[in-house]
Amino acid sequence: MPKCIGLLGGIGVGAANHYYSALAKAHADRGLILSLVMVHADMNQSLAANEANDPVPLALYFNTLVHRLQAAGADFAVIPSVTSHFPLDELRRISPLPIVDLFTPLTAALAARNIRRAAIFGTRWVQQSRLHGRIPTVEIVPPHPEEADLIHRIYMDLAWTGVGTPAQHATLTTLAHELIRREQLDAILFAGTDLSVLFNSANTDFPHVDVAALHIEAIMQAATE
């Protein structure tokens, strides 16, 4: 039997749905039955912590949810959100469960693909923090302020609604091509799980790194090792 995955859902709902669906399919492809429990986290608390640049309250809040996951039988915990990885270090110090983070597989993938210069599609906090400062080997090139605002607005719409539109896809695709051309980028980093409601391998025609996909692979390794 695979290990039981503890998922902190709600940050946002579309992200949790994507992880749930992808993990169920990955288990089925291996002839395994998914073992998963989930709690619903309040996205407002995550956004407030990032706005205040204070990870401690969010770590304490997440820790109460991880205890609930543990009580439900989870063997490890997963945060399906780049923005909500903000309190990762603080949470790990107090969490009763291991945390399978997304930065470990991302760092390995960037090195393997020799990506040295990239821009971020994600919330403004992830953009401004350069992925919370955890990818020092890659030069993160900021978009122009109005472009950063546009990316953030579209991303937050996706996070709250869990639904994307053709217009949003076209807007971000056009911007990705412009950034890659203008800034001579190696790739766009999809540093937000909710982008999965807009982009997939079939409709993405520019160099990119899907952080959620890498995270899901790492979760599968943890669940089946």
Architecture of domain 103-210: 3-Layer(aba) Sandwich (3.40)
Nearest to 124 by CA among 51, 195, 32, 211: 51
Contact partners, residue 196, CB within 8 Å, separation at least 6: 14, 15, 18, 210, 212
Identify the pLDDT of residue 14: 84
Can 5-101+214-224 and 103-210 be said to share one CATH topology?
A: yes
Q: Where are the domains of the chain?
A: 5-101+214-224, 103-210
CATH number, domain 5-101+214-224, options 3.40.50.1860, 3.40.190.10, 3.40.718.10, 3.90.1150.10: 3.40.50.1860
pTM, entire model: 0.91
CB atoms within 10 A of CB 124: 19
Q: Work out the percent of the chain whose per-residue pLDDT is above 70.
A: 100
| pLDDT per residue as tens digits for the range 102-139 | 999 999 999 999 999 999 999 999 999 888 889 988 99
Q: Work out the percent of the chain whose per-residue pLDDT is above 90.
A: 83
Binned at pLDDT 50, 70 and 90, residue 13 comes out as: confident
Identify the pLDDT of residue 121: 97
**169 DSSP β-pair partners:** none
